[in-house]
């Protein structure tokens, strides 16, 4: 958050630009002295005119906090994600187009998230549904899936709470009136039978609620101190291991992961359908190995891919 701060000394007004942000339980403030007796200065205009300087100052502060984190084989992925994240946030503040960009994000996210799970609906049809509310695409189940995903994204942004009731509600919104691949309706509530994913056992049905409560409690304990990307990625990995529903776990899990990132003031990310097999492999490795580096590495690569794409869109608006 940026603002103009006015202080008064000896009947003289001094004006400064201030940007506040927090990371890993620490609060920071960048202050730039502008001058005295200035009444027309605007924080957005100042940020625009000093974009590189303000971005660089914030990045250097963030870099000192994360340089000791050993979570990826390529440390530059962390730095790249942080830098472009700052740039995106600054551009969105300057241009005041966040709602427009989130709509564009929705098109890409919904297409990729649903296609990872087997949907064949083309991206142009997803965009048409989001932009016009209409589609004549032949597979009506997949069209409904897009409508549900729009509602789920809205719920994540405006109604979701970190409790089991909200997770159930999110699943219901995503799967309402849909049929699964076997033609059956999606069952209500948590799974009643065990499921195996990518040859890996998941949490048994009778342990799902307790496992979710443990995950949610751990998240609430860690959210103010843990590095934001690690916090979101760890939640997603554990959630996929719990696999609380018979189906729809990937879609609900990626939405909750993005809720965490947005709450931490990061732009949400996309796991791209072209990289779906690498995504499943990364989750498997994250669950199997002592180190989660391969998993973190993959997720950071997807983050940077997302951020680069949207940075260029925002910059050209």
Place of tokens 């359908």: 273
d(CA 158, CA 95): 23
Q: For 60-81, how does the pLDDT look when each residue is reduced to its tens digit (9 = 90+)?
A: 999 999 999 989 899 899 999 9
Q: For 176-220, how does the pLDDT look when each residue is reduced to its tens digit (9 = 90+)?
A: 999 987 888 889 999 999 988 877 889 999 999 999 999 999 999
- Is residue 38 predicted with pLDDT exceeding 80? no
Q: Which pLDDT score, from 0 to 100, does residue 231 have?
A: 98
Q: Which pLDDT score, from 0 to 100, does residue 104 have?
A: 95
d(CA 289, CA 298): 15
C-beta separation of 302 from 272 below 8 A: yes
d(CA 212, CA 238): 9
The one-character DSSP state at 187 is P
Which CATH class, in words, describes the domain spanning 98-315? Answer: mainly alpha
Percent of the chain at pLDDT exceeding 90: 86
The domain limits of the chain are 2-48, 98-315
φ, ψ for residue 34, nearest 5 deg: -100, -50
Strands (E) in 189-306, as ranges, are 196-197, 200-201
- Is residue 136 predicted with pLDDT exceeding 90? no
d(CA 238, CA 211): 9
Q: Which residues are within 8 A (CB) of 165 and not within 5 positions of it... i.e. 6 or more apart? A: none
The reported pTM is 0.95
Q: Which residues are within 8 A (CB) of 311 and not within 5 positions of it... i.e. 6 or more apart? A: 84, 87, 88, 91
Cβ atoms within 10 Å, residue 15? 19
Q: Which pLDDT score, from 0 to 100, does residue 233 have?
A: 98
* Helix-helix angle 249-263:140-158, to 10 degrees: 30
């Amino acid at each position: 958050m940026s603002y103009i701060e006015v202080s008064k000394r000896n009947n003289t007004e001094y004006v400064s630009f201030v940007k506040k942000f927090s990371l890993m339980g620490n609060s920071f403030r960048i202050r730039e002295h502008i001058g005295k007796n200035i009444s027309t200065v605007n924080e957005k205009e100042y940020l625009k005119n000093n974009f590189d300087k303000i971005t660089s100052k914030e990045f250097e502060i963030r870099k000192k906090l994360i340089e000791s984190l050993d979570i990826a084989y390529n440390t530059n992925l962390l730095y790249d994600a942080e830098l472009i994240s700052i740039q995106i946030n600054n551009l969105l503040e300057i241009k005041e187009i966040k709602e427009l960009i989130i709509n564009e994000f929705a098109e890409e996210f919904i297409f990729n998230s649903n296609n990872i799970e087997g949907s064949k609906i083309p991206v142009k049809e997803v965009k048409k549904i989001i932009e016009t509310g209409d589609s004549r695409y032949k597979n009506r189940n997949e069209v409904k899936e897009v409508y549900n995903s729009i509602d789920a994204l809205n719920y994540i942004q405006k109604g979701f709470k970190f409790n089991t009731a909200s997770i159930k509600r999110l699943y219901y919104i995503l799967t309402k009136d849909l049929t699964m691949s076997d033609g059956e309706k999606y069952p209500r509530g948590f799974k009643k039978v065990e499921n195996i994913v990518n040859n890996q056992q998941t949490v048994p049905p009778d342990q799902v609620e307790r496992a979710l409560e443990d995950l949610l409690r751990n998240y609430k304990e860690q959210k103010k101190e843990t590095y934001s990307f690690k916090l979101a990625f760890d939640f997603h990995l554990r959630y996929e291991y719990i696999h609380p529903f018979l189906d729809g776990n990937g879609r609900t899990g990626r939405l909750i992961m993005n809720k965490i990132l947005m709450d931490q003031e990061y732009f949400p990310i996309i796991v791209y359908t072209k990289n779906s097999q690498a995504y499943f492999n990364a989750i498997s490795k994250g669950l199997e190995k002592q180190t989660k580096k391969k998993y973190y590495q993959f997720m950071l690569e997807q983050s940077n891919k997302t951020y680069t794409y949207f940075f260029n869109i925002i910059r050209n608006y």
